[in-house]
């Protein structure tokens, strides 16, 4: 992994990655420039800004800055029942795999989708099974292109409208039906911190080579309306981030630690200042 060229302690920052939604006020060139200056070697990207910039151009830009793309967010939304909608979702996910391959990242993060409209609208088990069907269809396609599908369990508060995979246990149960080279899981502190089973599940995921990404954000309350944009800056909340990082390390994970915070208060500030603060918070609250 590139260790960056900045003067801000690149040793400490050797595993750090910044997910671009954390500082969405920055353009992709501004983000790359800012990360390089700080000595942050990794960046997590989202499809929409990458598509606007152009995937090839984005790949070139990131490469020229010596950055590694640690993940692309996101594919998924597999739970529709209607055949045409399912076909569209699979097509879109193949496009997401192609974009990940273009960017040179091996990790495509998947948000599985919520309960569907219609007769299956209360059938969590059925929706989870359709996620498995989609993984079966997409796994080989992704593998051929050097990309792994990374099932992200989202906090149970998103189970109805965003992601029927709510725990690391559920994500692993899905992933384990497929080769580890095709399907992994995302460990995100924001979604998993409340679950006492997680340390053992991280160990199991690590032993099986299933940890495709490790993302960090803190849990703060009160939650905002819609509960999407209320993640906390590292150290501001309830999560023992250091314990999480130690658990994934102990499980054998050697990849990036990707900071992904959705919070309008961060977006309103100077982006370079948020980058600096986030790197400092990472060293203080995640490392050590």
Binding site for its own copies (CB under 8 A): 115, 121-125, 128, 155-157, 159-161, 166-167, 170, 193-196, 219, 221-227, 237-240
Token digits for 199? 């340390």
In terms of CB distance, is 2 or 160 closer to its own copies? 160
In terms of CB distance, is 47 or 245 closer to its own copies? 245
State the greatest distance between any 2 C-alpha atoms of the chain, in Å, as a whole number: 58
In terms of CB distance, is 116 or 206 closer to its own copies? 116
In terms of CB distance, is 17 or 170 closer to its own copies? 170
Query: What is the per-residue DSSP string for the chain?
Result: ------SS-TTTTTTEEEEGGGGTTS-HHHHHHHHHHHT--EEEEEHHHHHHH-HHHHHHHHHHTT-EEEEEEEEE-----SHHHHHHHHHHHHHHHHHHHHHT-SEEEEE-B-PPSSTTTT-HHHHHHHHHHHHHHHHHHHHHTT-EEEEPPPPGGGTTTTBS--SHHHHHHHHTTS-TTTEEEEEEHHHHTT-TTHHHHHHHHHHTT-EEEEEE-EE-SSPPTTSSS-EEPTTSSS--HHHHHHHHHHTT--S-EEE----HHHHTS-HHHHHHHHHHHHHHHT--
In terms of CB distance, is 29 or 224 closer to its own copies? 224
CB of 212 to its own copies, least distance (A): 22
CB of 158 to its own copies, least distance (A): 9
CB of 233 to its own copies, least distance (A): 15
CB of 225 to its own copies, least distance (A): 4
In terms of CB distance, is 65 or 162 closer to its own copies? 162
CB of 219 to its own copies, least distance (A): 6
CB of 55 to its own copies, least distance (A): 32
How far is it, in rounded angstroms, from Cα 205 to Cα 107? 16
In terms of CB distance, is 154 or 183 closer to its own copies? 154
CB of 18 to its own copies, least distance (A): 23
């Amino acid at each position: 992994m590139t260790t960056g060229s900045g003067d801000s302690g690149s040793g400490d920052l050797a595993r750090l990655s910044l997910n671009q939604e954390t500082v969405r006020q920055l353009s992709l060139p501004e983000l790359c420039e800012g990360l390089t200056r700080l000595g942050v070697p990794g960046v997590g990207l989202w499809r929409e800004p990458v598509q606007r910039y152009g995937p090839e151009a984005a790949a070139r830009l990131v490469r020229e800055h010596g950055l590694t793309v640690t993940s692309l967010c996101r594919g998924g939304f597999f739970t529709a029942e209607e055949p045409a909608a399912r076909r569209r979702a699979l097509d879109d996910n193949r496009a997401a795999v192609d974009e990940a391959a273009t960017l040179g990242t091996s990790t495509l993060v998947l948000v599985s989708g919520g309960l569907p409209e219609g007769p299956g609208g209360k059938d969590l088990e059925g929706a989870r099974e359709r996620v498995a069907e989609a993984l079966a269809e997409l796994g080989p396609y992704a593998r051929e292109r050097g990309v792994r599908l990374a099932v992200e369990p989202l906090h149970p508060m998103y189970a109805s409208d965003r992601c029927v995979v709510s725990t690391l246990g559920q994500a692993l149960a899905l992933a384990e039906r497929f080769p580890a080279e095709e399907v992994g899981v995302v460990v995100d502190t924001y979604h998993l911190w409340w679950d006492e089973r997680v340390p053992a599940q991280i160990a199991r995921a690590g032993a099986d080579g299933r940890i495709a990404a490790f993302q960090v954000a803190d849990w703060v309350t009160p939650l905002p309306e819609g509960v999407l944009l209320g993640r906390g800056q590292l150290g501001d909340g309830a999560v023992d981030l250091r314990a999480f990082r130690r658990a994934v390390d102990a499980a054998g994970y050697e990849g990036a630690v990707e900071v992904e915070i959705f919070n309008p208060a961060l977006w309103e500030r100077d982006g370079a200042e948020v980058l600096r603060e986030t790197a400092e918070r990472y060293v203080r609250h995640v490392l050590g």
